[in-house]
Amino acid sequence: MNSEEKQILGFLHPCPNVFFSVREIGKKAGTRRQFGLDPDWARPHLKHLAAKGHLKSNPLGQFCFVPSEERKKKEYKIGGHFKPISAEEARKVLGTNNLPGANPASSGTGPGQK
């Protein structure tokens, strides 16, 4: 992490989950000279920090700091082919009554029966 990225994180860290525009971050996180030479100096650093997971952006192109607790949480998406099925559907697909939750007396092959 370079010094510009540390400047940006130092500016955004005190107020997590509050979005700021690229220009506002460039103006307040850096020096007056940095902003005078290039008002969009922060944009590549913001994109890099967002790709690393330190920042998140909204559809307007603004960025905010993500606290470390939220960064540790991972969202896992499950596709539709993993939807849970009921026990009745499983019995129907497998064609058996010997599944957990089935009544052993009705199957005729429960424990203790010959």
pLDDT in tens, 16-50: 889 999 999 999 998 899 899 998 999 999 999 99
Q: Given a cut of 80, is residue 81 above it in pLDDT? A: no
Domain presence at residue 32: yes
Domain presence at residue 61: yes
CATH code at position 31: 1.10.10.10
Is residue 89 within a helix (H) or strand (E), and if so which, with residue range?
helix 87-94
Domain presence at residue 74: no
Domain presence at residue 28: yes
Domain presence at residue 43: yes
CA 65 – CA 20 distance, rounded (Å) = 10
Domain presence at residue 78: no
Domain housing 36: 3-69
Count of domains for the chain: 1
CA angle, 80 as apex, 79 and 82 as ends, to 5°? 80
Contacts of 69 (CB under 8 A, 6+ apart): none
pLDDT in tens, 61-77: 999 998 887 777 666 66
Domain presence at residue 51: yes
Domain presence at residue 18: yes
